[in-house]
Every structure is written in structure tokens, then in C-alpha cells.
Amino acid sequence: MGNVMQVLKIAMAFIGVVVGAGFASGQEMLQYFVAFGIKGIWGAVLSGAIMMFLAVIILQLGSYYRAGEHGEVFKRVSYPIFSRVLDFGVILTLFSVGFVMFAGAGSNMQQQWGLPLWVGAILMVVLVLAAGMLDVDKVTAVIGAITPFILAFVLIASAYTLATTDIDSAQLDAVARETVDTTLPHWTVAAVNSVGFNLMVAVSMAIVIGGSMFNPRLAGLGGLVGGIGYVFILVVTSLTLFAAVDKVGTDAMPMLTIVNQIHPWLGQAMAVVIYGMIFNTALGMFYALGKRLTAKNPDRFKVVYITVTLIGFVLSFIGFQTLVAYVYPVLGYIGLLLIAVMIYGWFRGHRHIKAESGRRARLMVLLGLREAGQLKPAEEQELKAEVAASNLPQEDIERAHREDHQGEGTRPRPRHRGRDAEPAHYAERKI
């Protein structure tokens, strides 16, 4: 049961990181998929399937290295020049999407309650600053906790729209192409660009979340479950928006418009849920950014975190729809390089990750026996051999066992071996 809960926790957190303002509001699906009509729906299917596969890769790599920030993984699966380019691209993404979230928070409250844009943005800044003072286990739990609510509202909005709308595919296809503006040239480009963008958004915090899992196998299962949930939300939401494109095609928060049509009270609740998803992504972006910028000086995290969050708030007044239309596609193109690097690195190291997953599971058993005073001499030798073969130092392994035994999760603060000190079984596959 404990493993199942860990997998679900990771899955919900992954969905929470990816499903942000542009996604939960429906604006992202409009511009990436619905804008291309019926073919755009197939684009959503393609995009979701690729992202599901990448979710497994990202979380497993994060767990394998017990990474505290994305740079630790990039350095080990990529050439130095690619590592630096990706690191810069992800840092830019974290900051850009972070301040897009503040803009989305303002648009959300303005559309639903008629409040000035700055009200929703300021409240979001306060929430993000407060939550950012927590450790990564609590941040992961906060992000994952809101995810089930958006799943519920997507189902409600979709069921209502598809049940009450007289769907004329040909007519809706024409309306979608004419009504929804997009900066992307073709539905296939949009599908791949969407994956690139969402990977750029998710990779940093997902690596941190994966790094909190001791066993890469469980982290990968969490990615698979989270990826399936993501595909479901993406395709169902895209279908719903396509069916209602004649009514919501020009709205900043189209999903909110649909739910308001069901019942005003549901609209009020949906506005709160969307605000929560905006908070999820803003928190994930600025938290991961703060961790990356202070990787060599962790004591400065809070100062840096507060500073970049406030700068993001100032930049958020450019406008939500404008930011989604122009910032997201540019980041998506950068993300194509990231897709190639992560897939390449994972495939080259897959057999080592698989072996290490079994090794870490066995290590937990052996350490449990030692703690109970039941470890036999042969098992003592096995324990020493498994520790020596692992890519983690002994103190990290024992710390993970203590935290698991105490029921405190698997939050790491690893002290990595230097690259030259890594075991030969992994060093031989470095790019």
C-alpha cells in the first residue's frame, strides 16, 4: 500500500506541474489543437502519447541520480554544450512560465468576478511566496492535492458539453479554423511543439520530484500513471473545447465559460480550481528556478526565490493571452532539443536504471534486516557489495532507509559522488 500511495503522489504531482494556467483554463488547447479543427484533436492524441513516455523517462532519471535540481541530470546525460544550452533554456522557461501564471491569475479573477488584473496577481504572489518556504516533500504534496479537483471539473464540463451540444464536425471544424488564432503553422508542428513546451515546463520540477523517490522503478510507475492522466485530460478537454468552439473560441478562460453555463455556482468553484492549478504551476516554476539558481549556495534559496518571484510579478502585466500565444511556442521549439537529449540519455542508460531499481529494493530489505539484528554473514557481504555497486554513496542509501522506516517519505539531500568517483558500471555509458 505504501508503494501505491507513493506512485499516486508522484503521478498527481506530475499532472499538477504540467496542468497550469494555459491548460486548466483551456487557452493552451485552443491555440495548440482546436485552432486546427478536427486534425488538431489527433494532434492532442499524438502530443499526449509522447508526453506520457517522457514522464517515465524524466522521473526515472531524477530518481536514479537522486537529483535536487535539473542541472545534475543534464550534466550526466548530455554533452557539456547541450547541457549548458538546455540548462539556460529551462531556466528561461521556469521564469517565463512563472510570470505567465501570474498573468493567468489576474485574468481568472477578472473574467469570473470582474476584479482588476492586479488583484489576482498579487494574491498569487503572496501564496507562491508563502508556499515556497516549505521543503520539497510538502511542495510536492501541495501541488498534487489540487490535481483531482481539475480532473473532476474537466469531466463535468466535458460530459455537459458533449451531451447538450449538437455536434456538426464539419461546421465546427470551419468555425475553429476561422475563430481561434494561433502562431503555429501546422497541427503536427503544434503537437510536437506542445510536447516540447510542456517538457520544458515540467522537467525541472519533475526531476526534483523524481529525485525524492529512492527507487527509480516506482518513480517510473508514477510517471506512467501521471502520463495516462495527462493524456486523458488533454484529449477530453480538447474535444470539449472543439465542441463548444463557436461559444468560447475567443475567451481567455474557455473552460471557465463552459462550466459557468452549467450553473453559476459551479462556475465559482471552477474559478477557484483553475486558480489552484495556476498556483500549482507558479509554485513549481519558481521553486525549481530558485533551487537551480542556488545549487552551489543553497543557503541563499529564500532570498533568490523571493527576488525572482517579485520580478516575475512585475512582468506579468503584459497580458495572459498574448504571453500564451508568443512565449509558449518559442519555448516549445527549444524543448525539441530537450526531448532528444532525455530520450537518448534514458535509452543508453536504461539497463543501468533497471539494475539499480532492483538493487535499491534489495538494499532496503538488507538494511531492514541489519536494523533488526537478523542480518546473516552472507547477507552482510551482499549488502557491502550492493552498496559498492550502487551509483549512490552509502550515506544517501542509509538516509533513505531511515526516512522510509520512519514514515517520513524519501526526501533526499544527496551528497553526490563526483563524476570521476562514479561506479564503472555507469561511467562507461556516459555521453
Show Cβ contacts of residue 398 under 8 Å, excluding neighbours closer than 6 positions.
Answer: 367
pLDDT at 378: 92
Rounded distance between C-alpha atoms, residue 150 and residue 15, angstroms: 10
Rounded distance between C-alpha atoms, residue 61 and residue 77, angstroms: 9
pLDDT at 49 over 70: yes
Q: Tell me the three cell numbers of residue 335.
A: 524543448
Rounded distance between C-alpha atoms, residue 240 and residue 234, angstroms: 10
pLDDT at 1: 54
The 10 Å Cβ neighbour count of residue 303 is: 12
pLDDT at 338 over 50: yes
Rounded distance between C-alpha atoms, residue 176 and residue 160, angstroms: 20
pLDDT at 431: 36
pLDDT at 173: 92
pLDDT at 298: 87
**pLDDT tens sequence across 225-257:** 999 998 988 998 899 999 989 888 888 778 888
pLDDT at 6: 85
Between these two residues, 385 and 70, which has the higher pLDDT value? Answer: 385
pLDDT at 149: 81
The 10 Å Cβ neighbour count of residue 42 is: 16
**Nearest by Cα to 343 from 76, 70, 53:** 53
Phi, then psi, of 411 in degrees rounded to 5: -65, 120
- Are 25 and 255 in contact by the 8 Å Cβ rule? The answer is yes
Rounded distance between C-alpha atoms, residue 84 and residue 78, angstroms: 9
**pLDDT tens sequence across 354-392:** 999 999 999 999 998 998 889 899 999 999 999 999 999
Domain boundaries, the chain: 2-350, 354-427
Q: Tell me the three cell numbers of residue 205.
A: 520540477
State percent of the chain over pLDDT 70: 90
Between these two residues, 128 and 403, which has the higher pLDDT value? Answer: 128
pLDDT at 407: 52
pLDDT at 47 over 90: yes
pLDDT at 81: 85
**pLDDT tens sequence across 310-332:** 998 888 777 666 666 777 787 78
Q: Which long-range contacts (CB under 8 A, 24 or more apart) does 224-227 make?
A: 224/11, 224/52, 224/55, 224/56, 225/7, 225/8, 225/10, 225/11, 226/10, 226/11, 226/12, 226/13, 226/14, 226/15, 226/55, 226/59, 227/14, 227/48, 227/51, 227/52, 227/53, 227/54, 227/55, 227/56
For all residues of the chain together, what is the average pLDDT?
A: 83
pTM: 0.77
Average pLDDT over residues 212-235: 92
Least confident of 75-79, 213-217, 377-381: 75-79
Between these two residues, 34 and 272, which has the higher pLDDT value? Answer: 34
pLDDT at 112 over 90: no
Task: Give CA angle at 276 (227, 13), nearest 5°.
Answer: 30
**pLDDT tens sequence across 398-421:** 888 887 766 544 444 444 433 333
Between these two residues, 143 and 370, which has the higher pLDDT value? Answer: 370
| Confidence bin at 422 (pLDDT 50/70/90) | very low
Alpha helices in 66-186 (DSSP H): 70-77, 80-113, 117-131, 136-164, 169-179
pLDDT at 429: 37
Report domain 2-350's class.
mainly alpha
**pLDDT tens sequence across 155-211:** 888 888 888 887 788 899 999 998 888 888 899 999 998 888 888 877 887 898 898
